[in-house]
Amino acid sequence: MDSSRVYVYGIVHAGRSLPPDVRGVGRPAAAVRLLPVGELAAVVSDVPDDLRARRRDLMAHQELLTRLGAGAPVLPMRFGMVAEDAATVRQAVEAAAATHLAALERLRDRTEMNLKATPAQSGIEALVRADAGVRRLLADVRRTPSYEGNVRLGQAVAEGLARRATEAVEEALPRLSALADGFVRGPDVPGCVLNGSFLVPNAAQERFRAEVERYAAGCAERVELRLTGPLPCYSFVPQDGAEPGTPARTSAAHAGVGG
């Protein structure tokens, strides 16, 4: 362990206690502690000597934040957030204290739910019935088979499936957003027409999940929906001045460091 640098997991209200037996990243797992800063506290540990974006460390980081967020709000840091020392963390947290306190209040009794949507591959038959252009290309290929014809047909099918999936998602978003206190679109994910996160009140989690399942069943020929959560509220942490320290200049920094 590096005895001076500090690994930062998140920011919580002062006076919080850590879950029992909670451990951090690294092998052996780092001991986690609270670093008080006025009305706030940073959740930190020493930095493992070989910090990298290994699956076990990514999972340890997320599990710690999930356990913290189960009892009270937490502003999560992305994996790999490292500061040069404790003083750097204190200074950064103190400088943005008002922003952190407002964000913690917004996240109180809420959680993040992530929704990914992909075109329904089982919907090709429905696409052919609905799309005259695809029907025409299919007839051409059957009448005069060719490589170029197959390529054009394949592209038309892929585009048609993606279009139908996108339309289905856009129909669902208003109803899902009505059950949430926030919605943001995340980075593009290959194969997905939507990667979006919702800030869902804890009391509405089951209703939100049931609405996703209901819509997924009703639109199974157009879109496949995958809901993940509850998650740490990464997508709803303020971007400016929200993170203490500097990302580790290792491969960990490419695992999504940032607020």
259 residues of the chain, pLDDT tens digit each: 445 889 999 999 998 888 888 888 888 888 899 999 999 999 999 888 878 878 888 888 999 998 888 878 999 998 988 999 899 999 999 999 999 999 999 999 999 999 999 998 876 767 767 777 777 777 777 888 888 877 887 777 788 888 889 999 999 999 999 999 999 999 999 999 999 999 999 999 999 999 999 999 988 889 999 999 899 999 998 765 434 333 333 222 223 333 3
Domains and CATH numbers, the chain: 2-96+241-255 (no CATH), 111-234 (3.30.70)
- pLDDT at residue 239, as a whole number: 64
Alpha-helical (H) ranges within 21-85 are: 55-71
Q: Where are the beta strands (DSSP E) in the chain?
A: 2-13, 32-37, 40-47, 75-76, 81-83, 110-119, 182-185, 194-201, 223-231, 246-247
The per-residue pLDDT for 138 is 72
Chain length of the chain: 259
SS3 242: coil
The pLDDT assigned to 244 comes to 37
pLDDT at 254: 29
**pTM of the predicted structure, to 2 decimals:** 0.77
Q: Around Cβ 169, how many Cβ atoms within 10 Å?
A: 22
> How many angstroms from the chain centroid is the CA of residue 253?
16
Q: What is the pLDDT of residue 248?
A: 31
How many CB atoms lie under 10 A from the CB of residue 45? 21
| Backbone φ, ψ for residue 81 (5° rounding) | -80, 115
pLDDT for the residue 153 = 78
User: How confident is the model at residue 220, as a pLDDT?
Assistant: 87
